[in-house]
Amino acid sequence: MIRIHLSRLMGENKEKIVDLLRATGLSRNTVTSLYRETSTRIDLDTLNAICRHYGCGVGELLEYTADDESAVALK
Residues in the chain: 75
Where do the domains of the chain lie?
Answer: 2-74
Which residue type does 36 have? R
d(CA 58, CA 63): 9
47 pLDDT exceeds 90? yes
Query: Domain 2-74 carries which CATH code?
Result: 1.10.260.40
pLDDT attached to residue 68:
73
66 pLDDT exceeds 90? no
pTM (two decimals): 0.84
**Residues 26-55: what's their mean pLDDT?**
96
pLDDT interval class at 69 (50, 70, 90): low
pLDDT tens per residue across span 10-38: 999 999 999 999 999 999 999 999 999 99
